Amino acid sequence: MPLEARPAPARFEGDFATWLCGHGVPADAALARAVAIHANNALAAATAALAGNYPVLRAALGDAAFAALARRHARAHPPADPRLCLYGRGLPRLVARTAELAAWPWLADLARLEWLVVEALFAAPPPRRPRRLHPDRPWPLAAATRWLASPFPVNSLWQAHQPGARWPRRFPRQGELALVSRPAAGVVVSCLPAAALPLLLALRRRVPLGHLAAAELAHLPALAAAGALVPAIGDG
């Protein structure tokens, strides 16, 4: 496909975009090579961002399999935001839909947990002034707080893939409720009892403290200790 002598910017962009997507090739061989270099640069940047955001999934799959998965995702869902540190939200869905990975059904939840870690890493800091607790008001979750209730031992799997972690002799046979919080300088993943889920859901609905059931209130200290709630006077 030849270019016009003086193409309007929109026309040129349209032609170039077509080539970048692999639909058609410029007639000029040098231009074709340049398009291939730009396409490769773009793909490499997107897949590198996915590798940075999903280190546990990468460790679980191995470099080659992860790279193939990342390329598939980057081609189907290229980044729309130049902030590549926030690229890859949809990767867990691709993991869940990939037939070749069906034998490892926990991988999609492992990826979901990793994405929650990314979200927590870049979430807003808690307010500087501690909140005064009152029965008629909710105790807000910290902006970084996330959780994943999984039918798989997703917290144990995540912990086992951390640098320097010891591989457990066996993983729990039941599902786990993984909590993602940012108590101080870093993101922490921990495990909560499944019975804490109603409390998390109630806090997300901003249910006032005085309306929480006793069984729910019992889990508040653990959440406060994990930094999952905004700082409050008297929460220690």
Partner 1 sequence: MGLGAGIGLRLPHLAALAAGDPPAPPPGLWFEVHAENFMVAGGPRLEALMAVAARSPVALHGVGLALAGTCPAPARHLGQLRRLCDRIGPVLLSDHLAWQRIDGGRWHVPDFLPFPRTRAALALCIANVHRAQDGLGRRLLIENPSHYADVGGHDLPEHEFLAELALASGCGLLVDVNNIHVSAHNLGLDAGLLIDCLPGDLIGEIHVAGHRADAGSPLLIDSHDAPVAAPVWALAARLLARIGPRPIMVERDGELPALADLLAEAHQAAALLEPAALLEPAGAA
- Which residues lie near partner 1 (CB under 8 A)? 3-10, 12-13, 16-17, 20, 28, 30-31, 33-34, 36-38, 41-42, 45-46, 49, 78-86, 120-125, 143-144, 182, 185-186
Phi, psi of 199 (to 5 degrees): -65, -45
Phi, psi of 63 (to 5 degrees): -60, -45
User: Cβ of residue 84: shortest distance to partner 1, in angstroms?
Assistant: 6
User: Cβ of residue 135: shortest distance to partner 1, in angstroms?
Assistant: 30
Q: Which helix (H) or strand (E) holds 46?
A: helix 29-53
Helix (H, G, I), strand (E, B) or coil at 131: strand
Task: Determine whether 228 is exposed, middle or buried from the number of CB atoms within 10 Å of its CB (0-12, 13-18, 19+).
Answer: buried
Backbone torsion region of residue 187, taken as left when φ is above 0, otherwise alpha when ψ lies between -120 and 50, otherwise beta: beta
User: By C-beta, is 182 or 219 nearer to partner 1?
Assistant: 182
User: By C-beta, is 86 or 218 nearer to partner 1?
Assistant: 86
**Residue found under tokens 């804490």:** 196
Half-sphere exposure of 220 (CA within 13 A, CB side): 22
Amino acid letter, residue 160: A
User: By C-beta, is 79 or 175 nearer to partner 1?
Assistant: 79
Q: Tokens representing 23?
A: 């639909």
User: By C-beta, is 64 or 185 nearer to partner 1?
Assistant: 185
Rounded alpha-carbon distances, angstroms, from residue 58 to 40, 53, 217: 21, 9, 38
User: By C-beta, is 28 or 63 nearer to partner 1?
Assistant: 28
User: Cβ of residue 52: shortest distance to partner 1, in angstroms?
Assistant: 8
User: Cβ of residue 167: shortest distance to partner 1, in angstroms?
Assistant: 26
User: Cβ of residue 88: shortest distance to partner 1, in angstroms?
Assistant: 13
User: Cβ of residue 97: shortest distance to partner 1, in angstroms?
Assistant: 21
User: By C-beta, is 131 or 182 nearer to partner 1?
Assistant: 182
User: Cβ of residue 154: shortest distance to partner 1, in angstroms?
Assistant: 22
121, 187 contact by CB (below 8 A): yes
76, 46 contact by CB (below 8 A): no
Amino acid letter, residue 216: E
